[in-house]
């Protein structure tokens, strides 16, 4: 509903927009609208699920941003002990300030059979 004297398609003037915004939008927004998702510097570990045959399967992946592009590396199933160790390693590397490129390289090294990280 527009205030009386206003019609759709009429010229919008400075006072017209302010009156509509104050009464329509300003009255509806009652909560702080800051983002509620945890903010990340540039990289993080996330838990996600995939549905197959009506069942949900949960996994971890390492994610990082380059510009506006989100990159991901699969870590494994949440039920796997090896995956939980990988996740813990990645979280330590993030806290220690390693760059996403370095962390990605370490994760990919863990996948190879001759990995010095898994054997230590």
pLDDT tens for the 120 residues of the chain, in order:
555 555 555 555 555 544 444 455 445 545 544 443 445 468 999 999 999 999 999 999 999 998 889 999 999 999 999 999 999 999 999 999 999 999 999 999 988 765 555 544
Question: Three-state SS for 4?
Answer: coil
How far is Cα 18 from Cα 25, in angstroms, rounded to an integer?
10
Q: Are 112 and 118 in contact (CB under 8 A)?
A: no
Sequence-distant (6+) residues with CB within 8 A of 40 are 65
Kindly state the helix (H) or strand (E) to which residue 75 belongs, with its residue range. Answer: strand 69-77
């Amino acid at each position: 509903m527009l205030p009386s004297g206003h019609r759709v398609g009429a010229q919008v003037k400075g006072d017209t927009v302010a009156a509509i915004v104050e009464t329509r939008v300003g009255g509806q927004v009652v909560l702080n609208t800051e983002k509620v998702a945890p903010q990340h510097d540039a990289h993080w570990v996330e838990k996600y699920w995939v549905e197959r045959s009506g069942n949900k399967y949960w996994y971890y992946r390492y994610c990082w941003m380059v510009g506006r592009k989100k990159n991901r590396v699969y870590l494994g199933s949440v039920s796997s002990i090896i995956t939980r160790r990988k996740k813990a390693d990645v979280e330590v590397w993030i806290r220690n300030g390693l760059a996403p490129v370095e962390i990605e390289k370490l994760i990919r090294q863990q996948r190879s059979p001759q990995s010095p990280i898994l054997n230590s």
